[in-house]
């Protein structure tokens, strides 16, 4: 496979649930139409829970580092960085476990790794060229999460609020917010911060061209 660079550029985009990580990631992707870019989501790497009962799966804390199969994520990221294709797992949110199906993924010039806890593991941080933290106020994030979980995941309002107060908020304070110190760039207001996104894409473009 012919490539411009010795290895792909890896951009890590993190922030709390509902912070606008995906909006920032897609803005970077759309700003670089002449380059091959891969959006690589940490959410695909939730651990397989097929050995647990459905009731046990419902109690999974998805905002804790141990919810993720980080070893497999690192293995796949390293393969992509060597321009090797992977078969990425697919997570079934209704069954609360990994699907039996996978998604074949070809390597690209730029890998945008997006997820709430991608800066929590030093091994992952060391693979990134640019680390971005999307910093959005708590009240905006909870509103976005309520809207997403009700509309896209069929959740009830009470269940979303209960989960936010009992799990999401404390896990954010304990594991996600502290990773801000590792970021090269902090973007307030997420995808609406066009100045920050322009600066970021200009930097990526200069790395690609040089």
20 is in an annotated binding site: yes
21 is in an annotated binding site: yes
- The total number of residues shown for the chain amounts to 210
SS3 24: helix
CA dist 207 and 76 (Å) reads 23
Please list the alpha-helical segments (H only) found in 21-89. Answer: 21-31, 54-58, 70-81
19 is in an annotated binding site: yes
23 is in an annotated binding site: no
- Cβ-Cβ contacts under 8 Å for 179 (sequence gap 6 or more): 14, 117, 119, 120, 133
Cβ burial 18-51 (10 Å sphere, 16+ → b, else e): bbbbbbbbebbbebbeebebbbbbbebbbbebee
Tokens representing 166 are 């009992």
191 is in an annotated binding site: no
> How distant, in Å, are the alpha carbons of 60, 66, 76, 107 from that of 71?
19, 11, 9, 19
173 is in an annotated binding site: no
- Are the beta carbons of 143 and 97 closer than 8 angstroms? no
16 is in an annotated binding site: yes
- Are the beta carbons of 89 and 102 closer than 8 angstroms? yes
Residue stretches of the annotated binding site: 15-22
- Going by the annotation, the residues of the binding site for ATP are 15-22
């Amino acid at each position: 496979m012919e490539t411009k660079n010795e290895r792909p550029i890896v951009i890590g985009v993190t922030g709390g649930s509902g912070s606008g990580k995906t909006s920032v990631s897609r803005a970077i992707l759309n700003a670089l139409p002449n380059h091959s870019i891969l959006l690589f989501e940490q959410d695909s790497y939730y651990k397989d829970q097929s050995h647990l009962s459905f009731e046990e799966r419902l109690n999974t804390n998805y905002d804790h580092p141990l919810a993720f199969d980080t070893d497999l994520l690192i293995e796949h990221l390293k393969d992509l960085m060597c321009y090797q294709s992977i078969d990425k797992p697919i997570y079934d949110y209704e069954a609360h476990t990994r699907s039996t199906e996978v998604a074949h993924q070809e390597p690209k010039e730029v890998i945008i790794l997006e997820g709430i806890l991608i800066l929590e593991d030093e091994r992952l941080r060391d693979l990134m060229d640019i680390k971005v933290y999307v910093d959005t106020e708590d009240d905006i994030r909870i509103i976005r999460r309520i809207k997403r979980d009700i509309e896209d995941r069929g959740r009830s309002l009470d269940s979303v609020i209960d989960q936010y107060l009992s799990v999401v908020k404390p896990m954010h304070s304990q594991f996600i917010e502290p990773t801000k110190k590792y970021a090269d760039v902090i973007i307030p207001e997420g995808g609406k911060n066009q100045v920050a996104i322009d600066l970021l894409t200009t930097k990526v473009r200069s790395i690609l061209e040089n």
